[in-house]
Structure 1
């Protein structure tokens, strides 16, 4: 099946949008970046994600607490120069991409280092590297989104586990959050995503995507509403002659072993036109109350290392995903290219095809569905149709306990 790819865009109508994601420790940047990138890719945008420079350098065994004042200043100056150079690489690639809209997501930006020093030192540093604060604050980035630390308003979710370079206590995290927020005061498009009115972490992620959609002029309809839920249908057939324009991705999911039955981990490869992104997704039970899902983009090397930890009792899941819109409603259509081992009885005419969308319309109530698809039935909330269930290899021995949240996480 061939993808109906986007046509080249006239330069005057093409958007190149440069976004900074910043915030305090454990604010949700990693998951937010991945969800944001996936959302815009599904809308047909090209997305570049700029890695956090500090994490790269600290990963090389630099220990900031061991540096004397002179070393710390030199490190911060080199960090800023490196950050701007890495960003320029991605900005140049974005400028050279002419056939679609482009979103560049920077994991922190040029003003963030100013939170770690006095104003005199900061201006001295800028003078030495030939950079103006006005340009960093007002001209370099189209939007800055600050994700408030979980230590301020969502303390039960604050953790050091998902970032090996993070060492801050609750009070230190809140203090650092305030300093980072103040560093960006004055940017013409600064949005602050706090933890208020967020009953769960997913609400915060939806708020993030919404503020970026607002700035870029995208109307996601009710997909980003806090009451929006995923609904799924089993598809019998497709009328290819009437299919609307879509973006197509080849996706591979694999479940990993976990020594904690309250944690589920899977990795994903997502490929389009020979280029791939890699993600690790974790579902964890927090204080026995709810399952929180976090996603982090990983490198190919990390992805390869994770694959050695595969759960051998579950098969890899191969599918083609088509992302498209009908009217104002956004849909994903998943076509399994290999029937999962526990899904043989679910296929129709030798195919296994699912349609999904996010909507505030409750399960069972009518939703306007694409008329070029023949829908067999709704499968929202049916355990047999979850990826975790379908991947199970019958009569296989599992090395660790089954995920205790399988009954609650049915619509993955």
Structure 2
């Protein structure tokens, strides 16, 4: 018989990565899920988010603390069945997608074992003809445990942002320990604790998932990485853009906030006619940290929240172009009409880097004309750009430090007239001599 030719294995042309986000209460799962979805969608991946089954069931009137022992077992059994059915729906949809797919499960099947003893859990598995390895190792590619703020970040622990959360500190710590123990046998488990600030915790999550998948993200998620923002004077035409890109049509609305110092906004992001909706709350600085909470919401919730929009701000319409250049992720924000006259023609390039200011310019994509590094300048903050009235007529509204577009504004600029002049002068200038770091 003729020997068969042995060839190098051909890697799969499509990836389906099944991720479980687990952990104790107030660990950052909700914001982490939204941030992961945003990052991978920017790369052109399709992202599915499987809702937390327990929260869905308990929001219908079930109170776990009021259940008898028999009811708890019955609840956990139905929880497992419902969770697997939900997940299987998304897994099936992922198989039918032509593009790479990330499926984020808000907790996985093994989490159900954290609420009952081993004997009871074994009875449930036996009744459902399941085995631990099948609902753990063979079902999910990767587990990430987000440690509860009740362990090491107690000042940030709260139950007010989650309708189904009731745990005090001690119970939250116990829930965290049991959730961690439930996944101890899975071959790919990463634990993210609270030794760094909240933003670093979320960045570490994205970095871990990207690395597990095998995506090179450069230094974006390094501990000392920071966001930088540049004003761009020109962008190549679509057909001449030299690297692959993904365009999203984005609109931001700022909302009224009931709490002083809080900033809230809604974002609608559309690709190929399909929208996603994000609700963001940026809280005032506490213990040296400014915490931004992001949550994916339904279209119905988006429309309900939109009734609370702050009409002192105009909506912001942008095309966001995401692309990779030399293993570095970039975003171009191209402001579109309708917009305030001050926004007309504005284009910003954003990325994360560990480079010093003097090194950044030479590393930027050479096919973009950079006018100036505007990182931290309130004159170019989306929040201030959206203010309906003239800045000099709304000095109290102009934000000098706390921005709602993910910028660290360390240099306070209190002269709004000078801020206006910088915006106008740079926006109208189109000379390469304006390039500045």
TM-score by length of 2: 0.86
Distance 1:118 1:130, change over 3 A: same
Tell me which residue corresponds to 1:6: none
Q: How does 1:28-107 map to 2 (within 5 A)?
A: 28-98=28-98, 100-107=99-106
Q: Distance in 2 between matches of 1:251 and 1:234?
A: 19
Q: Does 1:373 align with 2:372?
A: no
Residues 105-137 of structure 1, C-alpha deviation per residue, up to 9 Å, x if partnerless? 100001000000011111111122222212012
Q: Distance in 2 between matches of 1:251 and 1:366?
A: 27
Distance 1:253 1:269, change over 3 A: same
Which residue does 2:417 correspond to in 1?
none
Residues 157 and 286, structure 1, Cα contact 8 Å, conserved in 2: no
Structure 1 residue matching 2:137: 3-state secondary structure: helix
Secondary structure of the equivalent of 1:233? strand
Partner of 2:261: 262
How far 1:316 moved relative to its partner? Answer: 0.9
Distance 2:359 2:178 in 1: 48
- The two structures, once aligned, show a CA RMSD in angstroms of 2.0
Aligned to 1:4: none
- Partner of 2:147 in structure 1? 148
1:277 CA displacement: 1.2
Measure, in 2, the Cα distance between the counterparts of 1:110 and 1:75.
13
Contact 1:363-1:380 within 8 A present in 2 as well: no
Match of residue 214 from structure 1: 211
Task: Report how many residues are paired.
Answer: 392
CA contact (8 A) 2:282 2:404 kept: no
Name which of 383, 387, 392 aligns with 2:378: 383
How far is 1:346 from its partner? 5.5
Deviation at 1:286, TM superposition (A): 4.5
Q: Provide the rounded CA distance (Å) in 2 between the counterparts of 1:239 and 1:184.
A: 49
Structure 1 residue 285, shift from structure 2 partner: 1.8
**Higher mean C-alpha deviation, range 101-110 or range 358-367:** 358-367
CA distance in 1, matches of 2:366, 2:112: 53
**Secondary structure at the counterpart of residue 19 of structure 2:** strand
Matched with 1:139 is 138
TM superposition shift of 1:294: 1.2
Q: Structure 1 375/81 Cα, relative in aligned 2: closer, same or farther at 3 Å?
A: same
Point out which structure has higher relative CO (alpha carbons under 8 A, 6+ apart).
1
3-state SS of paired residue (1:222) = coil
Residue 23 of structure 1: aligned partner:
23
Residue 343 of structure 2 is aligned to residue 352 of structure 1: no
Structure 1 match to 2:412 = none
Alpha-carbon distance in structure 2 between the residues aligned to 1:269 and 1:149 = 29
Structure 1 residue 64: Cα displacement:
1.3
Q: For the residues of structure 2 that align with 1:46 and 1:71, how far apart are their CA atoms?
A: 38
Q: Quote how far apart the aligned CAs of 1:32 are.
A: 0.5
CA deviation profile, 1:271-310 (whole Å, cap 9, x unmatched): 1112111111111124464321111111111111100110
Is this contact kept in 1: 2:256–2:309, CA < 8 A? yes
**8 Å contact from structure 2 (residues 343, 385) kept in 1:** no
Shift of 1:364: 5.3
Superposed CA deviations along residues 120-162 of structure 1, whole A, max 9, x for unmatched, are 1111111222222120121000000001101001111111121
What SS does the corresponding residue of 1:310 show, helix, strand or coil? coil
Per-residue CA deviations over 1:149-179 (Å, capped at 9, x if unaligned) read 0100111111112101111111110011001
Q: How does 1:13-412 map to 2 (within 5 A)?
A: 13-98=13-98, 100-196=99-195, 198=196, 200-240=197-237, 241-287=240-286, 289-338=288-337, 340-341=339-340, 344-345=341-342, 347=344, 351-363=345-357, 365-367=359-361, 368-394=363-389, 402=397, 406-409=400-403, 412=406
Query: Gaps spanning 5+ residues in structure 2: where?
Result: 1-9, 407-437
Deviations 1:4-54 (A, max 9, x none): xxxxxx982211110000000000000001111111111121111111111
Distance 1:402 1:75, change over 3 A: farther
Structure 1 length-normalised TM: 0.91
Change (3 A) 1:364 1:264: farther
Q: Distance in 1 between matches of 2:92 and 2:364?
A: 40
Q: 1:406 to 1:75 in 2, by over 3 A?
A: farther
Pair member with larger Rg:
2
Point out where structure 1 has 5 or more consecutive residues left out of the alignment: 1-9
Task: State the secondary structure of the residue aligned to 1:252.
Answer: strand
Q: Label 1:410 to 1:303 Cα distance change in 2 as closer, same or farther (>3 A).
A: closer
- Contact 2:256-2:310 within 8 A present in 1 as well: yes
Question: Which secondary structure does the structure 2 equivalent of 1:123 belong to?
Answer: helix
